Structure 1
Amino acid sequence: MNWKYFALALAAVTTPAISQPTPGVSVPPEIGVAYGRLGKAIMSHDADGVKSVWAEDFVVNSPNNEVLNRDQVIAVMERDFLEYKDFRKHITFVSQKPEITVVMGYDTMVPIKGPGAGQQVTRPFTDIWAKRTEGWKLVARQATISAVGSPNVR
């Protein structure tokens, strides 16, 4: 596994700052709160906090085309692969059904370590949330680097 690319994949699930959604796009309150909890948990390397948001069967398709499960991602998080000067989530689309919510948009970040260190990285994403007995859980994520060093997407 290429850990430096995996670190960027992990960055895709952190959310210290959620920018205003695109006009007309509404993020369900429970999911907005969960994104906030997730960002804080990942940035503080709180595995239990991450597990409170990610479903047990959570998977992410990383930029190097590896599908990783929740435990694999948490193991890398605990190795301190996440260091950012800035991280923002820009939500451009939400489709909510009774049991599934799809959230799309792009993240912008300035990694301190790994590929793109010191430069703004832009990563479009698709998150799949599922309603479980304990609340909304993130079950799947696809995120792909679209630009390094470019401040604009769209």
Structure 2
Amino acid sequence: MLIVGALFASAPTLAQLAPGVRMPPEIGAAYGRLGKAMMARDAAGVRTVWAEDFVVNSPNNEVLRRDDVIAVMEQDFLDYRDFQKHITFVGEKPEVTIVMGYDTMIPLKGPGAGKQVTRPFTDVWTKRSVGWQLIARQATIAEAK
């Protein structure tokens, strides 16, 4: 299960926007809800942000569906220290928003445990009847120091 450092620990209070980048308030709020739900291992809260058809291409090149990731989260496998989200691009369209950047963190379990990891990501958000939901994520561990 190499997806340990794979997915989310989106603590929005630790997000940094690159100069000139603007985060849409609704998506910023959704990242906030997601971060709190992930840290609390609150599967119901995660499901409000991740669309039912959510998929992620994880760092170990596995495509996982929403329930696969939630199962890992509930097993207490996604645990980080010094997590920071660096957002370098936000592209808005009426129905889709793309957010790109990189996360830095120290995984406490699994591959890279105890080492700082840099993980570039691309998140794809779509507007649905319940609001903005994350439908796809690509995350790759670029380096561990």
Q: TM-score category by the smaller chain? A: over 0.9
Residues 104-126 of structure 1: CA deviation (Å, up to 9, x unaligned): 00000111111111111000000
Match of 1:8 in 2: 5
Secondary structure at 1:77 match in 2 = helix
Structure 2: 5+ residue stretches without partners: none
* Residues 101 and 120, structure 2, Cα contact 8 Å, conserved in 1: yes
* Residues 91 and 98, structure 2, Cα contact 8 Å, conserved in 1: yes
1:60 aligns with 2:32: no
Structure 1: 5+ residue stretches without partners: 150-154
Measured in 1, the distance between the counterparts of 2:70 and 2:56 equals: 12
Give every structure 1 segment of 4 or more consecutive aligned residues whose post-TM-superposition deviation is greater than 3 Å: none
Secondary structure at 1:20 match in 2 = strand
Give the number of equivalent residue pairs.
144
Partner of residue 75 from structure 1, selected from 61, 67, 71: 71
Bigger mean CA offset, 62-71 vs 99-108:
62-71
TM-score scaled by structure 1? Answer: 0.90
Amino acid corresponding to residue 75 of structure 2 in structure 1: R
* Residues 21 and 89, structure 2, Cα contact 8 Å, conserved in 1: yes
Measured in 1, the distance between the counterparts of 2:58 and 2:29 equals: 24
Amino acid corresponding to residue 60 of structure 1 in structure 2: V
1:39 aligns with 2:35: yes
**Where do 1:5-154 residues align within 5 Å?**
5-10=2-7, 13-16=8-11, 17-149=13-145
Q: CA deviation at 1:82?
A: 1.7
Residues 109-148 of structure 1: CA deviation (Å, up to 9, x unaligned): 1111111111110000000000001100000000101110
Q: CA deviation at 1:18?
A: 3.4
Amino acid corresponding to residue 14 of structure 1 in structure 2: A
Percent of aligned pairs sharing the same letter:
68
TM-score scaled by structure 2? Answer: 0.96
Secondary structure at 2:126 match in 1 = strand
Measured in 2, the distance between the counterparts of 1:145 and 1:31 equals: 24
